[in-house]
Chain A
């Protein structure tokens, strides 16, 4: 008798997801494209499982590089979706990668404008028009005395506190009555909405969502075209480590530092509370995308930010719960650890074997292989500084070293430690050549 979904092990659930990922709902351009798609994805899946693929997989995170590579700018592609598509297709066809980043991180400027979005500054909006990146604006979007409000009702906190402060146009939401008043009395919902202050909010949301839908269609099209051409997409779900949710998004560096000293118990309680919904939303999006990857950028738990003791108290327990929750659904957490993670390696080792991928930036890769090698797939760490200042020959040599040290026995993916914008394209080609020339397993 077939097992119910609840009876499946995480590996069995993951196999189902891998199968679906390997057979996407597309019409491949050529039989060769279909063969390539399966080869590339199998290479990646084997590396995750700590098996030896035919060769080391290689991935180039797109960043805003495709814009400059195709002779345009980030500003242009944030507003002109056709230019966005053209530059991403050129990137797709010119670079022989095993996984493809769709343009889902090039957010639509017009939607930001319609929302009066405060979390970012972008080219032509707080930054020079020729800026090649958008930049995060850290702030205390949650006040020190609002932990109780968060703990009591996260939806209410998000709707009436966080959203109005991060989207200027939606600021009147702060004057909305609590949503709970509509529980069991659906007509109450409309009574909430008659507030005259809210009418411009509905109008703005309507316009912003229509604009966003146009952008989503283009992102989806790029994803689809990549698959048809034989390149799998890495776009699945996304999540933040619970500590980063508070340290990055809600409280900022100053706020979180003060909380760690002044109200550690409240912070710890809130971290526990935010974990289950973070798992659910990541898995929901991965389900929708048909790709089991859950991308988790890591920020404020690195060697420089906090001590080991603080990592073990504030960062790891809920982060580990988040990872286990995602793994148990059969998804694959892919962490990009900014900065250095040398002092965390023995802590993060404590996960099921072959369940995750760690991509490192400045971490000592030989040490990472030594400590994590028999339990987790690792990737990285060609740095942005190298890509800007070195020659293609030097980059290729460095990749050769990475492959020799980290590639041994499988479980390694050759990639960058961060995304890039305007580096020499030859340097990226050198990385791909290195994988093809030095990365073959015999």
Chain B
């Protein structure tokens, strides 16, 4: 049965997978097992996105299905211990830029791939990035920006980490509308990711766990 569940979710069969979730809960299946299956299905969604079979609509839709399943499962969750994470990633859209669609997709894909994500939201001031990097000791920072004005905000953020003396402890990836490898050099970041799966690959490469 779990295999069917994984396939149904990965294939985005909304009615069927929601029905099956309810059946599994009624049959006394463990809530954690259902969540683990959901995670596997989302892994398949991510792979299909990376392979060019799935696109933004599929990521958005699968995210909604996962949310519905989580809501159904939640009341059945017994308090469990700490979830084990691959590592911590801090992300945010840089100062002056309010775009969040790509940011939230990256958040979602990192999360379902096992990372602990701190999403600082949009228009994040430089100091807030520095503060959060110190507080969490996260080894990876993801800077998002859609517009040209983000080029300088990214550079400012990287320079603030230099000044704070923690630049060499952090790998920085950038992404969004008009970013590319030229901007990586300009902003003194470490890499550019063209989409959410690229962010997952980079985080895995830098933190390990692939």
**Stretch in B35-43, B133-141, B174-182 touching the partner:** B174-182
A389 and B61 within 8 A (CB): no
**Stretch in B84-92, B97-105, B164-172 touching the partner:** B97-105
B contact residues around A306 at 8 Å (CB):
55-57
Is B69's CB within 8 Å of the partner chain A?
no
B56 and A253 within 8 A (CB): yes
B182 and A389 within 8 A (CB): yes
In the complex, what distance in Å separates the CA atom of A135 from the CA atom of B99? 8
In the complex, what distance in Å separates the CA atom of A137 from the CA atom of B100? 10
Is A254's CB within 8 Å of the partner chain B?
yes
Q: Is the interface of B mostly helix, strand, loop or mixed?
A: loop
| Per-position binary interface string of chain A over residues 244-255, scored 1 when its CB falls under 8 Å from any chain B CB and 0 otherwise | 000000000110
- Using known A-B contacts A131-B149, A135-B99, A385-B179, determine if residue A257 contacts B186 with beta carbons closer than 8 Å: no
| Per-position binary interface string of chain A over residues 375-407, scored 1 when its CB falls under 8 Å from any chain B CB and 0 otherwise | 000000001111011100000000000000000
Is B64's CB within 8 Å of the partner chain A?
yes
A149 to chain B, nearest CB (A): 23
A contact residues around B12 at 8 Å (CB):
261
**Stretch in A3-11, A120-128, A209-217, A234-242 touching the partner:** A120-128
A contact residues around B195 at 8 Å (CB):
304
A401 to chain B, nearest CB (A): 16
B contact residues around A385 at 8 Å (CB):
148, 151, 178-180, 182-183
| Per-position binary interface string of chain B over residues 42-85, scored 1 when its CB falls under 8 Å from any chain A CB and 0 otherwise | 00000000001111111111001000000000000000000000
B186 to chain A, nearest CB (A): 4
A304 and B96 within 8 A (CB): no
Nearest-CB residue, chain A, relative to B179: A385
Nearest-CB residue, chain B, relative to A121: B98
Is B185's CB within 8 Å of the partner chain A?
yes
Nearest-CB residue, chain A, relative to B58: A257
Nearest-CB residue, chain B, relative to A307: B55
A254 and B60 within 8 A (CB): yes
In the complex, what distance in Å separates the CA atom of A422 from the CA atom of B179? 16
B161 to chain A, nearest CB (A): 20
Interface residues of A in 259-291 (CB under 8 A from B): 260-262
Is A138's CB within 8 Å of the partner chain B?
yes
What total of chain A residues lie within 8 Å of the partner, measured CB to CB? Answer: 37
B contact residues around A253 at 8 Å (CB):
56, 60, 101
Nearest-CB residue, chain A, relative to B98: A135
A contact residues around B156 at 8 Å (CB):
none
A257 and B56 within 8 A (CB): yes
Is A324's CB within 8 Å of the partner chain B?
no
A418 and B178 within 8 A (CB): yes
In the complex, what distance in Å separates the CA atom of A260 from the CA atom of B14? 13
B119 to chain A, nearest CB (A): 16
What total of chain B residues lie within 8 Å of the partner, measured CB to CB? Answer: 34
A389 and B183 within 8 A (CB): yes
- Using known A-B contacts A131-B96, A257-B56, A306-B55, determine if residue A384 contacts B148 with beta carbons closer than 8 Å: yes
- Using known A-B contacts A306-B55, A388-B151, determine if residue A257 contacts B96 with beta carbons closer than 8 Å: no
A contact residues around B101 at 8 Å (CB):
138, 253
In the complex, what distance in Å separates the CA atom of A138 from the CA atom of B54? 23
A392 to chain B, nearest CB (A): 15
In the complex, what distance in Å separates the CA atom of A421 from the CA atom of B32? 50
A contact residues around B57 at 8 Å (CB):
256-257, 260-261, 305-306, 310
B60 and A421 within 8 A (CB): no
Is A132's CB within 8 Å of the partner chain B?
yes
Nearest-CB residue, chain B, relative to A254: B60
B contact residues around A137 at 8 Å (CB):
98
A384 and B178 within 8 A (CB): yes
B79 to chain A, nearest CB (A): 32
B152 to chain A, nearest CB (A): 8
Interface residues of B in 140-163 (CB under 8 A from A): 147-149, 151
In the complex, what distance in Å separates the CA atom of A384 from the CA atom of B183? 10
Most chain A CB atoms below 10 A, which of B56, B57, B95, B98 = B57
Is A258's CB within 8 Å of the partner chain B?
yes
A contact residues around B99 at 8 Å (CB):
135
A contact residues around B59 at 8 Å (CB):
257
In the complex, what distance in Å separates the CA atom of A388 from the CA atom of B145? 15
B96 and A305 within 8 A (CB): no
B contact residues around A422 at 8 Å (CB):
148-149
Q: Which 9 A-B pairs have the closest CB atoms?
A: A257-B60, A257-B57, A389-B186, A389-B182, A384-B148, A384-B178, A385-B182, A385-B180, A306-B55
8 contacts between A and B (CB under 8 A): A135-B98, A137-B98, A258-B60, A261-B57, A261-B61, A385-B148, A385-B178, A422-B148
Chain B interface (Cβ < 8 Å from any Cβ of A): 12, 14, 52-61, 64, 95-99, 101, 123, 147-149, 151, 177-180, 182-183, 185-186, 194-195
Chain A interface (Cβ < 8 Å from any Cβ of B): 121, 126-128, 131-133, 135, 137-138, 253-254, 256-258, 260-262, 304-307, 310, 338-339, 383-386, 388-390, 418, 420-423
